[in-house]
Structure formats: structure tokens, C-alpha cells
Amino acid sequence: MPSTVSARVISDREFALQQTFRAPAARVFAAYTDPAIVPRWWSSRGGTVRVETMDVRPGGDWRIVQRTPDGRETVFAGKYLEVRPVTRLVYTFRVEGQPGSELTATVDLRESGGTTVLTLTNRVASPEARDAMIRYGAAAGAKLAWDRLAEVLAEAGP
């Protein structure tokens, strides 16, 4: 399901991205929290993802290593702050080696009739950080990942 994702400013430090998936919320939630599913949609085409840690509970750590087709590695890590199966996931997110990259991400899932609306709200350190993320591709990055996630969810069937 090709999509259009755009950033909606919520406050001076927050913006939200939204996508609708033709899948129940339980499957979308599992795609965010199951270390066997995450690598199937997180990476760029031709890239790979290795989930090193995924302790999905409040206070639990997560760490993912992404390798691009040309061999560059980026490490993403954080800590789970809130876990409400099927409806909400709150976690910190940072790119290792990039000071100031930390944000708090909130994934809210709302299901109706087997279709799920995912809203990702990002809270960053400053208005400048918010503007930079919007300007330099948060929506485009989410679109790439979520288009792949839609493919993974479609493979699983209705």
C-alpha cells in the first residue's frame, strides 16, 4: 500500500507522523516489538538489520544495527519507557555517535475494523531539532520503513 507521510507539528518540540495499515493493531504492535519481524521492515532495500537487544518492558533496552547496501553501519538504541500491548509503545531513540540525536518516540495504535492507524509522535530537545528533523527527512524515512512494514503485514494475510 504506497503511502504519503507528512509531519504535523504538535508543539515547539513535537511533531507527529501517521500511517494507516490494513492489519489489526496486534500485528502492527508485534512488528514493532518482535525481534524476528523488525529486521524485515526496518532496513532500506538491500540493507540488513541486526537486532542486538530488544527487552520490551518499561526500563528495558533496545539496540539495532543497520547496514546499508554499501556497507555503512548505523546503530540505533534506546530504552522502553511505556509498553501497553496493542495500543501504545513509548521509547527513547538515539543514533550512537551522534550527540543530540536523542528523542522520545510514542507509537499509538488505533484499530477499527481490522485497519490500524499508527501515529508516531516524536519529542525532541528543541524547536531547532524539531525543524531539522522535519526538514531533513523524518517523513521520507518513515514512509520508506512503513511501506516495507505494509508489505510485511500483507504477507501475513488477513
pLDDT for the residue numbered 157? 59
pLDDT for the residue numbered 98? 87
pLDDT for the residue numbered 156? 60
How many Cβ atoms from other residues are within 10 Å of residue 50's Cβ?
15
- Provide the edge-to-edge strand list for the sheet that holds 88-95: 8-11, 14-21, 115-123, 103-112, 88-95, 73-84, 61-67, 48-54
Residue 158 has pLDDT above 60, yes or no: no
State pLDDT tens for residues 82-130: 999 999 999 999 999 988 889 999 999 999 999 999 999 999 999 998 8
Domains of the chain: 8-34+81-155 (3.30.530.20)
The pTM is what? 0.92
Which whole-number Å values give the CA distances from 145 to 12, 15, 64, 101, 128, in the listed order? 25, 18, 14, 19, 24
- List all residues 6 or more positions away from 130 whose beta carbon is below 8 Å from its beta carbon: 9, 12, 13, 14, 15, 122, 124
State pLDDT tens for residues 61-80: 999 999 999 999 999 999 99
State pLDDT tens for residues 118-149: 999 999 999 998 888 888 788 888 888 999 99
Q: Which of 58, 28, 53, 61 shows the shortest CA–CA distance to 145?
A: 28
pLDDT for the residue numbered 89? 98
pLDDT for the residue numbered 135? 84
Decide: helix, strand or coil at residue 59: coil
pLDDT for the residue numbered 1? 47
